Structure 1
Amino acid sequence: MELYAKALTFAIPFFLILIIIEEFAARKMKRQVNYGMDTISSLSSGMTNTLKNLMGLSIAIVSYGWMVDKVALFHIETTWLVYVVAFIGMDFVGYWSHRFDHKINAFWNRHIVHHSSEEFNLSCALRQSVSAIVGIYFFLYIPMAFLGVPAEVVAIVAPIHLFAQFWYHARLIGKMGFLEYILVTPSHHRVHHAINDVYLDKNLSQVFIFWDKLFGTFQEELAEEPPVYGVKKPVNTWNPLIINYTHMWALIMDAWRTKNWWDKARIWFMPTGWRPADVAEKYPWEYWKNAFDQVKYDSRPSKSLQVWSWVQLVVGFTMVFHVLVAFVSFQYLEVMLYSIFLMVSIFAYTSLMDKSKMAIPAEIIRFSLGMGLIYWNGGWFGLQEFLPGATLLVSVFFMLSLVLTFRFIATEGKKLKSVSIGTRHYLNFDS
């Protein structure tokens, strides 16, 4: 975990620099690819995933290290070739785990947050799950374990493979010639993030595109069919923690409401979007049947709320970076408490971005937790040792955040949704 924290202290600034470069390039090309609240939501989602990992909230049913010790048929020396084999093996695992996430009802909840943005840009690449806590795809690593690829090699290759999937979340880059036949390119991945019927569940590869061509899930980006991004059943919130569990909650409600006991059992493992017939008829889901009917979610924030949301993001990001930099010196309890506080913070300010009244109790909890941590620590996690007056500064920010939350909710009214009547359809699946 220390290695993970150290890697992120270098990777995160690099990602942010690329996002800023993308924004400058878009402006120079007179195009818009980033939209304030959506970008804040994406970056906040990235922070929740980082915090989940720092807290160690991941459970492996069977570890790769155990498998390679038990089933390896060969002993492979650690050479450059082993790293190549491991990278290709990780990509094979990535393709099939990605495919299962798209195809199985309960597993879609692990992945929906990544597709939830109705934009397509580098920041949306950071929409990563906090709901995928249990590692259920261990069986996909069996071929690598048979070959005897060492666990330490997999540990090094895994973050490299993950970071290699960032760059192609780009709208400004066109088709890339011969690379289109080898790698997943921005064109390929635009298809993957689209809700157009012709593009649904296509281009599931993560680095090498040949898996899609081999297993029949490839689709080229068509000039006559511009991609429309998001999910068919829109999430209508900026709150990444709500997004992470919105599909699971819908499945729980369907399982509860259906009168058919067989449907209660099988709903979790049916194809994504399947619903019991009795529930689908009585409680239809709203969705975009025609992608081009999509009206993007917009909570219509005032200029002052937008500015305050950016302030919240910067403060939250600074605190996450503080955890990463000081991770080695923190006790596990400190990491847990700091991370829980930041999770509550993200929930609070993204709820405020929605103009949801949930923002008020969330902000009260955040304020109470923050002041309690200052009292417990005698400061803000040692920050005052490097920045004199840090504790007072943090306390004032907590108070200001509490006051402004009440003000914004009082002055900006209820949560708004920019949905035009008549553009949505109702989703009814046959059993």
Structure 2
Amino acid sequence: MHVQELIITWATPVFFALIGLELLVARWRGRPTYRTNDAISSIGLGVISQVAGVFGKLLSIGIYAWVAVHLAPLTLPADSIVVWVLALLAYDFLYYWLHRAGHEVNILWAAHVVHHQSEHYNLSTALRQTGSGVLLGWLFYLPMALAGIPTEVFVVVALIDLLYQFWVHTEQIGRLGWFDRVFCSPSNHRAHHAVNDRYLDRNYGGILIVWDRLFGTFVEEDDSDPPVYGTRAPLRSWNPLWANVEVYWAAAKDAWHARRWRDKLQVWLRPPGWRPADVAARFPRPAFDISRERFDPAMSRALTFYCLLQFALLLGMATQFLALSATASLSTLLAYAAYLVVSLTVLGALMEGRRAARWFEALRVLATALVPWASGRWFGVVELDPRVVVAMLVVFGICALALPWVAPARRSASVPEVSAKDHTAGTMGH
């Protein structure tokens, strides 16, 4: 297993322990901050991001390594504490500009939007990551390679920067005084995730908030204007594939309909929300409404339990996928990745109450039960332990039998939970 997958695998139990702690604290305070469907959606998108990252190593690390070896005029020592400190500062500085560009350039926002789609703000939101950010994000870190920072140092400081940002995604920690003035903190990052005019496109720092203070993008959280979370064009879906492509698709349609070639290009390079005048006139979009209710299709207790069980099983499989990534063949990894993505997509449709979802889910769980039983194999495992085969047959077989009782027969209407004006949670963001 590569160092990134290894560290993420070891960190995952800590993530879930902290999520559990946050859930308990929120309930004790009488401020419910989690919805099962939203949390499954957010963490599922994090799974897809990790899966996509396995195939994106050539871009995210491979090109960096090549530049560091072949184009850098010197190589800095990897055993120097000064190099490590400078590398972390350099990474955080470049992350600020990548993050800022992700809010100011539409093609970069198309990737970053995934992280902002949740209409809740909790630690599961931290795990909600893009599957396509690897396509262009690597460009911003090439100055570190050209400066001679070794690849192994770059990989570790990137993980440090990423892991630090997990804890700031919470409403359970208030102001922290001087800390808020120097570092990215829960208060600072709540403002970043908010759609309110006061907060929009602010506080991009990963570890340090001083970059925002230096470059004029800092804003302080104001209790008189509580953050409202999400996106200004709300996703309103638990489909992880649609979550990853919605902005790409909208931009592609606008580019197609634009009459001027210049506008076809500007759709991708202008700030999010910009549209050619002729396209906006022919295909108007609804005005932004900060009071819009949150997306929350009704789920029975039985369906909630079923989805949590299936999601837990998929998380275990995703962990196995990451463990196999260093040894399994490309075809095996692609097949396993497809299974995981399709499974999470079907689960999202099931949580939306879509009519066809239970039929697709029935096919999925039956295949998961019968294929190992008939072949004795699973992705990357040539000979499954007979006890594992029996366990999969029993668990997924029972799930298939129980499905007609737990899944709705037809699509349910969205049941609003609370107005976005309630300061305990919100609806839309950038």
TM over 0.5: yes
Residue number in structure 1 paired with 2:247: 247
Q: CA deviation at 1:54?
A: 2.9
Q: Which moved more, 1:244-253 or 1:147-156?
A: 147-156
Aligned residues with identical type, % of pairs = 34
Native 8 Å contact 1:58 1:135 kept in 2: no
Residue number in structure 2 paired with 1:126: 127
| Cα 1:287/1:359, change in 2 over 3 Å | farther
Q: Which moved more, 1:369-378 or 1:223-232?
A: 369-378
Residue number in structure 1 paired with 2:24: 24
Cα RMSD of the aligned pairs, angstroms, is: 2.9
After TM superposition, the score normalised by the length of structure 1 is: 0.88
Residue number in structure 2 paired with 1:36: 36
Residue number in structure 2 paired with 1:429: none
Residue number in structure 1 paired with 2:169: 169
Secondary structure (helix, strand or coil) at the match of 1:194 reads coil
Residues 258-273 of structure 1: matches in 2 within 5 Å? 258-273=258-273
Q: CA deviation at 1:406?
A: 6.0
Where structure 2 has 5 or more consecutive residues not aligned to the other structure, the ranges are 422-430
Which amino acid in structure 2 is aligned with residue 203 of structure 1?
Answer: N
Residues 125-164 of structure 1: matches in 2 within 5 Å? 125-142=126-143, 144-164=144-164
Q: Which moved more, 1:208-217 or 1:43-52?
A: 43-52
Q: CA deviation at 1:341?
A: 0.8
Q: Which moved more, 1:384-393 or 1:317-326?
A: 384-393
Native 8 Å contact 1:380 1:394 kept in 2: no
Which amino acid in structure 2 is aligned with residue 315 of structure 1?
Answer: L
Residue number in structure 1 paired with 2:88: 87
CA distance in 2, matches of 1:9, 1:359: 30
Q: CA deviation at 1:378?
A: 2.4
Residue among 410, 413, 425 paired with 2:411: 413
- The reply to whether residue 206 of structure 1 matches residue 217 of structure 2 is no
Q: Which moved more, 1:203-212 or 1:363-372?
A: 363-372
- The reply to whether residue 50 of structure 1 matches residue 43 of structure 2 is no
The CA deviation string for residues 216-258 of structure 1, in whole angstroms up to 9 with x for no partner, is: 1100001111000000110001222211111111112222233
Q: CA deviation at 1:58?
A: 5.8
Native 8 Å contact 2:183 2:208 kept in 1: yes
Q: CA deviation at 1:285?
A: 2.0
CA distance in 2, matches of 1:402, 1:285: 41
Residue number in structure 1 paired with 2:313: 315
The CA deviation string for residues 348-393 of structure 1, in whole angstroms up to 9 with x for no partner, is: 1111111124525643663586468537852334779786432233
CA distance in 1, matches of 2:49, 2:43: 10
Residue number in structure 1 paired with 2:237: 237
Residue number in structure 1 paired with 2:279: 279
The CA deviation string for residues 256-309 of structure 1, in whole angstroms up to 9 with x for no partner, is: 2333333223211111111122221232223534xx413100111222221211
CA distance in 2, matches of 1:418, 1:255: 34
Q: Which moved more, 1:388-397 or 1:343-352?
A: 388-397
Residue number in structure 1 paired with 2:428: none
Q: CA deviation at 1:133?
A: 3.8
Q: CA deviation at 1:328?
A: 5.1
Residue number in structure 1 paired with 2:302: 304
- The reply to whether residue 8 of structure 1 matches residue 12 of structure 2 is no
CA distance in 2, matches of 1:155, 1:332: 23
| Cα 1:253/1:409, change in 2 over 3 Å | farther
CA distance in 2, matches of 1:396, 1:18: 32
Q: CA deviation at 1:63?
A: 1.6
Which amino acid in structure 2 is aligned with residue 267 of structure 1?
Answer: V
| Cα 1:372/1:165, change in 2 over 3 Å | same
Native 8 Å contact 2:369 2:394 kept in 1: no
CA distance in 2, matches of 1:58, 1:300: 42
Residues 392-411 of structure 1: matches in 2 within 5 Å? 392-401=390-399, 411=409
CA distance in 2, matches of 1:387, 1:287: 57
- The reply to whether residue 182 of structure 1 matches residue 182 of structure 2 is yes
CA distance in 1, matches of 2:130, 2:210: 26
Residue number in structure 2 paired with 1:427: none
Q: CA deviation at 1:57?
A: 6.8
CA distance in 1, matches of 2:411, 2:373: 34
CA distance in 1, matches of 2:385, 2:53: 27
Native 8 Å contact 1:344 1:362 kept in 2: no
| Cα 1:57/1:286, change in 2 over 3 Å | farther
Which amino acid in structure 1 is aligned with residue 130 of structure 2?
Answer: S
Q: CA deviation at 1:176?
A: 0.7
Native 8 Å contact 1:94 1:205 kept in 2: yes
CA distance in 2, matches of 1:226, 1:419: 18
Secondary structure (helix, strand or coil) at the match of 2:286 reads strand
Q: CA deviation at 1:188?
A: 0.2
CA distance in 1, matches of 2:380, 2:252: 43
Which amino acid in structure 2 is aligned with residue 345 of structure 1?
Answer: S
- The reply to whether residue 106 of structure 1 matches residue 107 of structure 2 is yes
CA distance in 1, matches of 2:141, 2:6: 28
Aligned residue pairs total 419
Which amino acid in structure 1 is aligned with residue 18 of structure 2?
Answer: L
CA distance in 2, matches of 1:54, 1:406: 36
Residue number in structure 1 paired with 2:97: 96
Q: Which moved more, 1:70-79 or 1:223-232?
A: 70-79
After TM superposition, the score normalised by the length of structure 2 is: 0.88
Which amino acid in structure 2 is aligned with residue 348 of structure 1?
Answer: V
Native 8 Å contact 2:328 2:380 kept in 1: no
CA distance in 1, matches of 2:383, 2:67: 45
Residue number in structure 1 paired with 2:227: 227
Which amino acid in structure 1 is aligned with residue 292 of structure 2?
Answer: Q
Q: CA deviation at 1:198?
A: 0.9
Secondary structure (helix, strand or coil) at the match of 2:111 reads coil
Residue number in structure 1 paired with 2:292: 294
CA distance in 2, matches of 1:369, 1:286: 42
CA distance in 1, matches of 2:134, 2:374: 29
Which amino acid in structure 2 is aligned with residue 352 of structure 1?
Answer: L
Q: Which moved more, 1:55-64 or 1:19-28?
A: 55-64
Q: CA deviation at 1:401?
A: 4.8
- The reply to whether residue 390 of structure 1 matches residue 388 of structure 2 is yes
